[in-house]
């Protein structure tokens, strides 16, 4: 359709590139006097749509070009500058932004979405003087400060919004633009809108980016990875890098240790698909079919299945799941695939792998055969096949691919920002075009939410594992403050990963309660304030006081009903914690009185009324799948609704007391297990992942 059209490397204006005789446009729009046009394919559905649109442009006499070094106009659906420059670069077109566009009058389309602001990154982690309350506000101030002082690096300041000189009538408003040699990236809508109006619209409101073509910059070093921040960062890196490395090692070590080398290497035979899903009588068929040559020889005797397998017990809360199961290495591979599902937004996949993994984690024997897996709830042919591959080769291609995928690696980086989920991580990558934290800071700082800014700021520190002893210190401090604020009747318990026995914790979760209900009312606010005052809490990411609020309302309206507490959720505060007592290292006295380098920690403080504290403890102590299955179990067997703030009958809405009488939080939790017909599981048996 087009080869003739875009070859034009001749001067733009005169190349009245008439379209093929046949297709005269219905529109009278003529673009033939404009410079060559390039259409960026980003965000177009498929190549066909792109071709169609190219045809549209050609029909108007537009001079299509595929060479960015001759095109002066680029039409795109991408909106962010960052992404635009990336697109250009991918076509081997390196540019430098030119901010001032033309000499005469620059219209002020106050809405220009691309009036880019680049927040200077500069001070990231660890760079802030702690001073006292370096609260959220201070961050925001820093932000705005940064962004104001900045933006100056281009000689011509950006959109110094000059008022339009109402350049009269039909002077060509584009002329001043096309008199310069810069490449102009316009919103695609410029074309479609022009089509609609049958005239060449001023490009100005659609101008996203204007760039001057420069030589391909040398990149002598591209440190790329190793640290979340690239060399651009001023922050001293050694600590951060080590920190990150530690964190990563920690994640993989307990799992990877268990070697699988004994398993592999059965012949060189390729494992194609030993287990296949067949619509009917799938399982039976599978059990007899296949496997003979793939099951590593030890074909016949399977170990005796644990009771929960034999009895079709499928909820993770009904079985024991240790932290270091025999098949941890295999599970680690599945975790990689699961992460890929997570990052790509495949929630169903995440769910499925979580279930499979939980079952495998509860399985007490080292797997010997793919067939075994088929017996486990939540596991079927896919998982069995993955196991066979793992057994034969010691690795799983799909997992390796996921792990090495550049795009996923970057998205994972973003996902690890507190306050950034999979969707946003993908958005950062795909739409914004960011590739590392520097990009986030530099190009998007002001678009981040407050908590995301905090998440970025302490990115590395939040990834650091917290030793148990420090968890205990933090808990003791919180407990102490609670007692001070109320009385010695306060009880507290560290839950989360700590309670499950993890050596290193990702955060600290602590539940506070008091046998007297009135003593927990509004205590969350008081505790945060008190801890803030003593500088333990540096930021409050989120505080939820709904229960207390409701309590007060109920009390106000109905002063007689002290027990009318409809529990919905627990009061809680998610905060950033830092030990304010910095002990300067003797070896490095230079930073002695300089700054507190104690790492910032994520701490969740949860308040529970005593009468539901068992539910709170239970709801906060298990692994994710344990909790999920607990809710499913409770729904399925009783049609109740389990919540960390209590249990209710789904039909009547009535509160069901599962807590019973208890003197301690642990006892209360045991009561809940019993009341729900569950065998008690120690916290360290709830490591479902």
Per CB under 7 A, 179 contacts DNA: no
Please pick, from the candidates 34, 339, 367, 379, the single residue that binds DNA as defined by CB under 7 A: 379
Considering the rule CB under 7 A, would residue 349 count as an interface residue with DNA? yes
Burial pattern 326-345, b for ≥16 Cβ within 10 A else e, equals bbbbbbbbbbbbbbbbbbbe
Nearer to DNA, 64 or 340 (CB): 340
Task: For 21-86, give the DSSP string.
Answer: SS---SS----TTSPPEEE--TT-S-HHHHHHHHHHHHHTT--B-S-TTT--EEEES---HHHHHH
- Given 335, 460, 461, 643, the residue binding DNA (CB under 7 A): 643
Contact residue for DNA among 191, 229, 418, 434 (CB under 7 A): 418
* Segment interacting with DNA, rule: CB under 7 A, options 42-50, 286-294, 538-546, 582-590: 538-546
Q: Check residue 626 for interaction with DNA (CB under 7 A).
A: no
**Among 78-86, 416-424, 463-471, 517-525, the segment contacting DNA (CB under 7 A):** 416-424
Mark 558-577 with x for binding to DNA (rule: CB under 7 A) and - for no binding: ----------xx----x---
Binding residue (CB under 7 A) for DNA from 204, 604, 669, 685: 604
From CA 3, how far away is CA 5, in angstroms rounded? Answer: 5
Q: How far is the CB of 369 from DNA (least distance, A)?
A: 15
- Candidates 419, 501, 515, 660; binder of DNA (CB under 7 A) is 419
CB of 195 to DNA, least distance (A): 30
Pairing of β 183-187 and β 73-76: parallel
CB of 251 to DNA, least distance (A): 16
| Near DNA by CB under 7 A: residue from 43, 164, 450, 468 | 450
Please state, in angstroms and as integers, the Cα–Cα distance from residue 377 to each residue in 116, 332, 645, following that order: 52, 19, 29
From candidates 87, 380, 389, 669, binder to DNA by CB under 7 A: 380
Contacts of residue 113, defined as CB under 8 A and 6 or more positions apart, other chains included, come to 79, 208
Site for DNA contains 632 (CB under 7 A):
yes
Footprint (CB under 7 A) of DNA, residues 458-517? 507, 509
| Stretch in the footprint of DNA (CB under 7 A) among 120-128, 227-235, 264-272, 376-384 | 376-384
Of the two residues 149 and 277, which places its CB atom closer to DNA in the complex? 277
Gap between the Cα atoms of 551 and 549, Å rounded? 5
- Strands across the sheet containing 207-214: 37-39, 73-76, 183-187, 207-214, 94-97
- Based on the shown chain and the rule CB under 7 A, indicate whether residue 420 belongs to the binding site for DNA: yes
Closest among 184, 225, 223, 221 to 205, alpha carbons compared = 184
- Judged by CB under 7 A, the stretch of 32-40, 88-96, 349-357, 519-527 that binds DNA is 349-357
Give buried/exposed letters for 243-281 (b at 16+ CB in 10 A, else e). bbeebeebbeeebeebebeebeebeeeebeebbeeeeee
Q: Is 449 in the site for DNA (CB under 7 A)?
A: yes
- 70 versus 604: smaller Cβ distance to DNA: 604
Please tell me whether residue 372 binds DNA under the rule CB under 7 A: no
Give the sign of the dihedral formed by CA 318, CA 324, CA 330, CA 334. Answer: positive
The answer to whether 117 contacts DNA (rule: CB under 7 A) is: no
Between 257 and 310, name the residue whose CB sits nearer to DNA: 310
**What are 377's two structure tokens?**
């709830």
- Binding-site size for DNA (CB under 7 A) equals 51
72 binds DNA, rule: CB under 7 A: no
- Report in angstroms how near the CB of residue 578 gets to DNA at its nearest: 17
- Taking the CA atoms of 320, 324, 329 and 334 in sequence, report the sign of the dihedral they define: positive
Q: Helix axis angle, 523-533 relative to 468-485, nearest 10°?
A: 110
Q: Which of 4, 284, 542, 583 binds DNA (CB under 7 A)?
A: 542
In the complex with DNA, which residue's Cβ is closer, 193 or 398? 398
Q: Which residue has the tokens 């399985």?
A: 363
| 391: CB partners within 8 A, 6+ apart | 260, 263, 264, 266, 296, 367, 370
Select the residue interacting with DNA from 72, 82, 382, 611 (CB under 7 A). 382
Integer Cα distance of 35 and 72 in angstroms: 6
Contact present, 142 and 123 (Cβ < 8 Å): yes
- Hey, which residues does 74 pair with through a beta bridge? 38, 185
Check residue 191 for interaction with DNA (CB under 7 A). Answer: no
Q: Measured from the CB of residue 77, what is the shortest distance to DNA in angstroms?
A: 18
Q: CB 332 → DNA: shortest distance, Å?
A: 17
The contact mask relative to DNA for 261-280 (x = CB under 7 A, - = no) is ----------------x---
327, 688 contact by CB (below 8 A)? no
Q: What whole-number distance in Å separates Cα of residue 671 and Cα of residue 661?
A: 8
Can you give the binding site for DNA, defined by CB under 7 A? 277, 347-356, 377-383, 417-425, 449-451, 507, 509, 542-546, 568-569, 574, 602, 604, 620, 624, 627-628, 631-632, 635, 641, 643
């Amino acid at each position: 359709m087009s080869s003739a059209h875009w070859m034009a490397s001749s001067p733009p204006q005169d190349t009245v590139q008439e379209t093929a005789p046949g297709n005269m446009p219905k529109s009278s729009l003529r673009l033939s006097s404009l410079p060559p046009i390039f259409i960026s394919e980003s965000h177009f559905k498929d190549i066909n749509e792109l071709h169609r649109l190219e045809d549209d442009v050609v029909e108007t006499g537009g001079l299509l070009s595929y060479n960015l070094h001759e095109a002066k106009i680029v039409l795109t659906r991408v909106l962010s500058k960052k992404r635009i420059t990336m697109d250009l670069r991918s076509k081997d077109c390196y540019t430098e932004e030119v901010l001032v566009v033309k000499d005469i009058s620059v219209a002020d389309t106050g809405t220009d979405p691309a009036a880019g602001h680049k927040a200077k990154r500069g001070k990231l982690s660890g760079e802030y003087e702690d001073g006292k309350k370096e609260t959220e506000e201070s961050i925001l101030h820093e932000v705005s400060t940064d962004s104001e002082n900045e933006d100056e690096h281009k000689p011509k300041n950006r959109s110094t919004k000059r008022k339009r000189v109402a350049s009269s009538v039909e002077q060509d408003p584009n002329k001043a633009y096309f008199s310069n040699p810069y490449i102009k990236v316009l919103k695609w809508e410029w074309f479609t809108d022009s089509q609609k109006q049958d005239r060449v619209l001023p490009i100005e409101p659609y101008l996203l980016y204007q760039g001057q073509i420069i030589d391909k910059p040398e990149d002598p070093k591209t440190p790329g990875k190793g640290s979340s921040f690239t060399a651009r960062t001023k922050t001293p890196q050694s600590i951060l890098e080590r920190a990150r490395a530690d964190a990563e090692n920690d994640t993989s070590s307990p799992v990877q240790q268990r070697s699988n080398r004994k398993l592999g290497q059965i012949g060189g035979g390729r494992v194609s698909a030993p287990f296949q899903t067949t619509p009917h009588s799938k399982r039976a068929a599978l059990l007899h079919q296949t496997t003979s040559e793939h099951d590593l020889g030890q074909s016949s005797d399977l170990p005796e299945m644990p009771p929960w397998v034999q009895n079709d017990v499928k909820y993770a809360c009904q079985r024991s799941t240790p932290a270091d199961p025999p098949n941890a290495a295999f599970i680690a591979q599945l975790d990689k695939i699961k992460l890929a599902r997570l990052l790509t937004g495949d929630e169903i996949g995440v769910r499925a792998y979580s279930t499979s993994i939980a079952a495998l984690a509860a399985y007490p024997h080292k797997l010997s055969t793919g067939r075994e897996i088929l017996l486990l709830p939540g596991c079927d042919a896919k998982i069995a096949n993955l196991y066979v591959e793992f057994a034969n080769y010691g690795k799983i291609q799909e997992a390796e691919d996921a792990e090495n995928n550049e795009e996923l690696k970057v998205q994972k980086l973003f996902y690890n920002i507190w306050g950034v989920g999979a969707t946003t991580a993908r958005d950062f990558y795909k739409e914004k075009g960011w590739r590392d934290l520097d990009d986030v800071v530099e190009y998007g700082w002001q678009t981040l939410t407050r908590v995301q800014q905090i998440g970025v700021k302490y990115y590395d520190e939040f990834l650091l594992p917290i030793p148990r002893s420090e968890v205990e210190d933090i808990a003791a401090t919180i407990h102490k403050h609670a007692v001070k604020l109320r009385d010695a009747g306060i009880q507290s318990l560290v839950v989360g990963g700590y309670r499950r026995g993890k050596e290193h914790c990702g955060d600290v979760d602590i539940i506070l309660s008091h046998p007297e209900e009135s003593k927990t009312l509004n205590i969350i606010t008081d505790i945060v304030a008190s801890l803030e005052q003593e500088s333990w809490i540096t930021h409050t990411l989120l505080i939820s006081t709904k229960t207390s609020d409701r309590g007060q309302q109920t009390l106000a309206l109905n002063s007689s009903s002290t027990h009318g507490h409809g529990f919905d959720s627990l009061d809680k505060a998610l905060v950033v914690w830092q030990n304010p007592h910095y002990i300067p290292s003797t070896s490095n006295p230079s930073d002695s009185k300089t700054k507190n380098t104690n790492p910032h920690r994520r701490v969740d403080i949860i308040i529970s009324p005593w009468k539901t504290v068992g539910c709170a403890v239970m709801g906060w102590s298990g692994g994710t799948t344990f909790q999920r299955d607990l809710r499913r179990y409770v729904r399925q067997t009783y049609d109740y609704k389990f919540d960390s703030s209590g249990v209710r009958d789904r039909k009547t809405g009535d509160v069901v007391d599962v807590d019973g009488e208890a003197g301690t939080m642990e006892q209360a939790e045991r009561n809940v297990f019993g009341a729900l017909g569950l065998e008690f599981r120690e916290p360290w048996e709830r490591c479902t992942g």
